[in-house]
Structures are given as C-alpha cells and as structure tokens.
Structure 1
C-alpha cells in the first residue's frame, strides 16, 4: 500500500490576529510546519500549536524563513549567507524549545515562502540553510522541491531530503511554482485539488498551468493552512487519498 505524508503551515497568527484554523488542520494532517517567529507566529501561539500537535500525534517541523514579519516571509531578502545561517539556527532552536516543553521535538525543517523558492536556484542561500540544519542536527530531514539546488546542498552535507508537492498551488512547465502574484497561482476547488493530488501520488505527474505534464516526486503533500477554504481542501485531499487505498502517515 502506498503511504503519503500530509503537511500544512501552522502557527501563523500573531497576537490577536489569527490566520487559518490550526485546530481543525491538526485533525487532518500528519506533519505540521510550525512558524518560528520570523515570518509569523508569537511564542504563546506557537506553544499552543506545539501542544495540540503533540496531543494528536502530529509531527512538528520548523518552518524557517527570512526575517520578514511585515511581508509574511514572501519577499526575497539579499541576506549574507552567514547571517542567514545564524537566523535559521536561531529559529530551529526556538521552536525546539517550545516543542520540547510539551513533550515533543522538532522532527524536520522546511523553508517558507520566498526563502523556499529562492533556494531552488540560489546556491549560496541554499548552502547556508543546509549548513544551518546540519549544524543543529544532521539527523533532521529537510522538505523541499526535488531537483533544487537546496537538495543538492543538503545531500552534500549528508542530510535526508524529502520531496514535496503542493496540493493547491499551480505549477510552471519547469516544475517550479507559479508566483502568487500571477492569476491562477492558488487553486480553490476542493474536489479538483483532491483529484490532482491523487494523480501526483499515483502517477507522479501534475498538469502545469500551460497544460503540459510535469513529472513530480512526492513523499509529502502540502495543503496550505492559510488559503481560503483550507480545511475543506485538506479534508477533500485526505478523503480522496484514503478512498483510493493510500495510507496517510508522517514520512519515516
């Protein structure tokens, strides 16, 4: 039987401002990419998400980002590699402390937003992120895009790489994500998204925004927690995969 991980970005509220339904999403996903305070999240909120994830047996991952609260981590920052390395080490350490306090731990690392997209091709920043993870714990897997420079740098340092696909994001013909600034970048039909994910998982392929077919390698599927109708989309994806006989579980 095939097995797939479902992950979602959680803990992205700040103070009285809440984003997404973390409680509901933690009843659906098997891995939680928890913000670390640089693009979103405050300590009390992150602690709450970690506590709930621990109670429900959901794996906690550190979602590291540029230091960009105002831009939600979706703006490229030309940060020096040494500074980026320190920022990523800091974020992993902060979240680990919160997770440890509720009897859990940080089990993997996933870059967020602009940092995620940048290190697909930006070798210096990719190397800095990979080295930061290795410095903290060389046993931590990293989630990212198959074929990226980030995966090259991570593998060079002996890190395990976990390939992910995005349920509700449009793909370019080159296998990268369509920019959120472009029309059609975010998909919102739960049934269509669920069928698309099933095709990714079973066929290893996805239809790009221009109609071409792109090969994808999927060990984990991201269902965004901040999209409109996120819970409905995630539920549809989960139900469709289970209905097709696919087991859901955190990657081992």
Structure 2
C-alpha cells in the first residue's frame, strides 16, 4: 500500500504562474525518492504542496489514507506532524545550543509555554541525543549552533526533523549550500536514516551523480510537468538532455 499518492496535482500561484501541471506519482514505504529538474521546474513547490505549506489548486494528495488537501485545523496539523522537512537554509536558532535546536522539533507534542521555557521532558532530551548520535553530532550537543560548519548545521536540522518521528522526510535541496565533500556527508546521513530507521525520504537534488548514488527511484519535472519516472541508472544522455535541455552539461560531485 502506498504511503503517499499525488493524483493530478496542479498548482497555480496568484500571479498566474502554473508551477505544477497534473503531476501524479506514488511513494512506497521505505523509498528514497529523488526529484530532479532545472531551477523553476516545480521541485520545491511540489514538496511544499505535499506538506500543505502551499495549498494545491487542483488534484489530491493522499498520505496514510488521508486526503491532506481536504483537512483543516487540528486534523491537518496532526498529519503534517508526521511529515518532517529540511530546507536548503538550515533555519536554526544561532544563539541556542545544538540540543535546544533539536528539541524544537518536538513542538507538535509540547505545549507552547513549555517549549518557550525550555521545559522538555527527560525522555525528549534522551530522544534528541539519540538523533544527534545518528547524525554523528552528539559531542556537539551543548555547542551554540552558530559555531558549527554548514554541513554540521544541516545535520542538526535533520536531527530536529527526526524529533517529529516522521513517516516521510522531505528534503528541499539539502546540499545546495554545501561544498562537494560535505554534500556526500549529509546525503549519507539521509541514506542512513532511510535504511536504518525506515523513514521514507523525498529529496530534491540538482546533481545526477548524487542521484545515482542515493536514489532508489527518480521523478523529473520540467516546467511543472513530470517528464520522467524510473530508476536513476536509466537516465542516459538522451534523458539528461530531455530533462535539462540540449545545451546542458552534466556536472558531477565526486
């Protein structure tokens, strides 16, 4: 049974820009699905529509048998709490410790008053330390977030998202701000979370070398339309030019 289904999803912004056009696909539990395409192809919009940060214009998004785009209020918040998300920008609180930043991911299960006062349970603190250990940063728990490198900050963001105990983790260009060696480090931790914790990952990426290394399946968007769905190894030179354009040149991250 599919964990997530997008059924003819379209998104038109108020200015008339149609970012997605009848996009349909399903995601199975445990997949590492990568979405590729040029900047402006609709990749980020798609992820934001999945977790309802952006309402869709037509179609349907089903998650665990719930139609997300029909939910409101508490019912929507409850389902969205099972969908973690990390962004290109790390969105950490710079002056707070790494541990405090990770604990912020537990907001869905913590009252606003307790979170503002930093009154997290011992169980939540142990859980946060466990997720920091998974991303290799338990030794940085009490260091201020702004003292970390970019790659380390992104790993903190991953641990924070895991505090939601998500069924799906959405990663929107998670390595776009990082250098090549750090990119592989972050991707390996996402792969570890996918394989060892069983968290389904949907990730937007630019570089096909990363896609071929980490994706179990790929979909490609071009001008908001899905033009490819299949195995990363089947994206040959002809498919590359179909997705990225005739003048595009593939750049690898080694």
Same topology, TM > 0.5? no
Higher relative contact order (Cα pairs below 8 Å, separated by 6+ residues): 2
Query: Structure 1 length normalisation: TM-score?
Result: 0.36
Larger radius of gyration: 2
Structure with greater proportional strand content:
2
